[in-house]
A = this chain, B = another copy of it.
Amino acid sequence: MAYRETEKIQARKADTKAKILSAARQIIALEGFGGLTMAAAAKQAGVATGSMYRYFPNKIELCTALFRQLSGREVDEMRAIAKLDLRPAEALARCCFNFTQRAFRAPVQSYALMAEPLDPALEMERLIYRRAYAEVYQCIIERGIEAGDFEELDSHTASLAVVGMLAEPLLAPLHQFYSGESEPFDSRKLALSISRLCLNSLGSKAQLKNQDFDEQFNEYA
């Protein structure tokens, strides 16, 4: 045996893998999954097309890894809010604001993750992450029900509905960015409307004041 992978090489490989993922991310942020070809990603990462296959067995795996990385971050963000020991209504409202906020920070990428046509194999991933979002919300909702802040309802369905409520109103404006016709957009106002609908749907009596939202908005801005 005259060769064994050494630390240095492992590090380099990890680095290259990260570079590839990063390149793919850049492409997605600019053009969505539609612009992501193996050749383009290779070029952007500064490696040969063939090298891509030393790091990912095929394109699907690359896309999956990327999708998980990006969606994972978003879900983690929600989880972090859920951990904060806030009143459930406050927590959900923050989720609304944070989600909306972040979506418009990287609109094309967000659109790609949320709604862009993907390889069918990836659609499963999307469902999995929607489920993950829903679980976070479900947890908050259940706390709210226990605390008597929300009315008794099917927390599972409610959590999915919240996912829909948060995402759907963003799609049209995000698509604008995706298709190039970006216009200035007041995401704060939108988030405010959505969070109200969201809390209403759960039967929350909490009426967070506008002020609260403003502060929170700035906190995450």
Q: Are the CB atoms of B169 and A127 closer together than 8 Å?
A: no
Q: Are the CB atoms of B153 and A160 closer together than 8 Å?
A: no
Q: Give the interface residue-count category, chain A.
A: 35 or more
Q: Are the CB atoms of B171 and A168 closer together than 8 Å?
A: no
Contact of A165 among B124, B131, B151, B164 (CB under 8 A): B164
Interface hits, A114-172 → B, CB 8 Å:
115-120, 122-124, 127, 130-131, 151, 153-154, 157-158, 160-161, 163-169, 171-172
CA distance A160 to B117 in the complex (A): 20
Chain multiplicity (copies) = 2
* Contact partners of A131 in chain B: CB under 8 A: 172
Q: Is there a chain B Cβ closer than 8 Å to A52's Cβ?
A: no
Q: Is there a chain B Cβ closer than 8 Å to A197's Cβ?
A: yes
* Contact partners of A200 in chain B: CB under 8 A: 151, 200-203
* Contact partners of A69 in chain B: CB under 8 A: none
Q: Is there a chain B Cβ closer than 8 Å to A40's Cβ?
A: no
Q: Is there a chain B Cβ closer than 8 Å to A58's Cβ?
A: no
Mark contacts of A163-205 with chain B using CB atoms, 8 A cut-off: 1 yes-contact digit, 0 otherwise: 1111111011001000100000000001001101110111100
